[in-house]
Amino acid sequence: MKRKYFLGCLFLLESLIGVAQSTGYAFQNPNLPVESRIADLLSLMTPEEKVSQLLYNSPAIERLSIPAYNWWNEGLHGVARAGKATVFPQAIGMAATFDTDLVYKVADAISTEARAKYNEAIKKGNRSQYMGLTFWSPNVNIFRDPRWGRGQETYGEDPYLSGKLGAAFVKGLQGDDPRFLKAAACVKHFAVHSGPEETRHEFNAIPSETDLRENYLPAFRELVDAGVESVMCAYNRLYGEPCCGSGFLLKNILRNEWGFNGHIVSDCWALDDIWARHKVVATREEAAAMAATAGVNMNCGYIYKHLIDAINKGMIPESTPDSLLAPVLRTRFRLGLLDPIESMPFGNIGSDKVNCKEHKELAYEAACKSMVLLQNKNNLLPLNNRALSNILIAGPVSADIQAMVGNYNGWSGNIVTFLEGIIEAADAGTAIDQTPGCLMTVPGNYTGFWQAENADVVIVCLGNTKLMEGENGDAMLNNDGGDRTDIRLPESQREYIRILRERIPNKPIVAVITGGSAIALQEVLDAADAVIMSWYPGEQGGNALADIIFGDVNPSGRLPITLYASVDDLPPFEDYSMKGRTYKYFTGKPLFPFGYGLSYTTFEYTHMAFDQKSEINGKQLQFKVTVKNTGSHPGEEVVMVYASKAIDSLGESGHKIPSVEKSLVGFKRVYLNAGEEKVIPIAINLMDMYQWDTENKEYFISSGSYFLQTQPSSGGGGFGVWIDAQ
């Protein structure tokens, strides 16, 4: 009897083992709720295994069949550092489009290529860095000062524009599947982080409470509301606390006030800064404990290897790894990283989607919409392609691939330089020659003037590249940590275009400027008849430029930053007060205002109406703006709405006068054929007009009158209406 009982138990045990082997652990069941899978996996892991998964280069846990995964991946304007991928315009160029729908499409294309590359990499067992699905983009730091080398990664100087474009990027990248993320976005760098690069690991930003709440934080909140999966904390300190150890930032504001429930990742080696450079603690264990207590879920670096020691020394509770790891695992499950590829809705995306025809066309559209026509004397542009006999393409960036891509970039094998694009588009009966004209940064060597004298028109391509501005350590031709202490073009380029004008005083010059920031362009404006700001336009930059120059495309880009006349117009770089910065607070005369951009046609604003049914104390205001194309070319206008509050006193006429300070609160792109008129509806969210109450610690809209004006730039024009807030 005992033998039969023993054999029965043995049979039952073997049956249970067989079931377990066929179904695996509960966390491996994709049909279970994510929270159940997280709880099961946490229950199976040792403390050491949990800590290992809090590092960006998470190792495999073979006994649980968990593969290695590297969380550090880049996708700012295309999948980056991972081989072939479509290269879209740099972020600052995307900002110049003022087009949320386009940004969404670009981000969707990026995540499609990311899935394709990930799927192919997994098939060959390649789990290396930059081949994953967690992208540390976008960057919505406010581009407060043009000297910052990394400003090119942002969407410009305005928090409203940055928030709207950043939210569109997040939604496009992450997709709309109800269960799974197509890819995971990460907004950075939280917060108040925009140079100087050389001191980013040690400086202490001390903005006013009003500047923090009304300028530095709104874009981050917009992306949290849009469902961004991850937030990256910054290197610097804020009010004395390292951002990656700040309970004020990460707990009080991000988690409690805004309700963020994704994971927080440190900037790379930022936790090392806590003890080694900020010196707010003395040891690595204390740095790990400080970041963990603040709520940093993932460490790009090594400091979290000391979490176990911190626990053993009583610095943090034993439960800390569990609470930190849960949001990280949630992201991993939502991406399907622990599920078979074939079970994923994105598992069938193949390599044919990488740099495909549709994505190249999208990169071309983005490049066309990003370029800003700054000057066009006597309507020189567009050039008559068939009437030209001889064109000289000059300048040190005319054939430079680096000038196309900006930083945090990918490579496609299809990058079209300005030289190549113009040659491809030019009439077959036109002679074209090329000369660099000068060296990028070394003055004294100039060439090609005889070619210019023989040309009908000279297209001179000047500017910066990612070798001259960018992140600390990356800009190899920069001696200031990647920043620009002088916002003019290099002396060699300024001297070259001045001499060029002297040598051909009566011939047209078209200047094309590359760069990721505001450039003091007075010498270029004096020498050139037409000036185009091309930013870093991506792989289709050459084709886009050619089609704009020859009139197949009407330029429609608008400046997402203020162009200043001189660095002397700016406050000290290290000062994080917004006073004297950006169009909102700059009281001088800019070279070009925020929102500026010319077209080959003209637009007229004929009427602006406020829908009386939408009340000021409601959530939105509804406006209708009438815009007419009064020129002879079809084109796109960017309709912008700015809000300003009435000043206390009245003018001589007894009418209300709006304050000089204004803020962008709405924008919309509209396409109009020559002579066409459209009524454009624009909704204004009242939250975008709120101010920060420093006494009650809340946002509010103060009573009084507000002037809402629709205009083509922050410089003025258009129509406006007054509304009253009670």
The answer to whether the CB of 442 falls within 8 A of the CB of 478 is: no
Neighbours of 323 (CB within 10 A): 14
Tokens 């729908």 found at? 101
The answer to whether the CB of 558 falls within 8 A of the CB of 174 is: no
Q: What is the DSSP string of 359-421?
A: HHHHHHHHHHHH-EEEEEGGG-PSP-GGG-SEEEEESTTTT-THHHH-SS--B-S----HHHH
The answer to whether the CB of 400 falls within 8 A of the CB of 360 is: no
Q: One of 113, 241, 267, 637 is an active-site residue; which one? A: 267
- Give the C-alpha separation, 330 to 333, whole Å: 5
Reply yes or no on whether 469 is catalytic. Answer: yes
**Secondary structure of 154-210 in HEC code, one letter for each residue:** CCCCCHHHHHHHHHHHHHHHHCCCCCCCCCEEEEEEECCCCCCCCCCCCCEECCCHH
Task: Enumerate the H helices of 53-158 as residue ranges.
Answer: 91-95, 100-123
Q: Compute the half-sphere exposure of residue 212: CA atoms within 13 Å on the CB side of its CA.
A: 16
**Which H or E run includes 263?**
strand 263-266
Reply yes or no on whether 267 is catalytic. Answer: yes
Neighbours of 24 (CB within 10 A): 11
**Secondary structure of 462-522 in HEC code, one letter for each residue:** EECCCCCCCCCCCCCCCCCCCCCCCCECCHHHHHHHHHHHHHCCCCCEEEEEECCCCCECH
The answer to whether the CB of 179 falls within 8 A of the CB of 33 is: no
Q: Looking at the chain, how many residues does it have?
A: 726
Contacts of 358 (CB under 8 A, 6+ apart): 109
Q: One of 469, 483, 539, 637 is an active-site residue; which one? A: 469
Helix (H, G, I), strand (E, B) or coil at 308: helix
Strand 677-685 relative to strand 704-711, pairing:
unpaired
Tokens of 136: 């540390």
The answer to whether the CB of 635 falls within 8 A of the CB of 556 is: yes
As annotated, the active-site residues are 267, 469
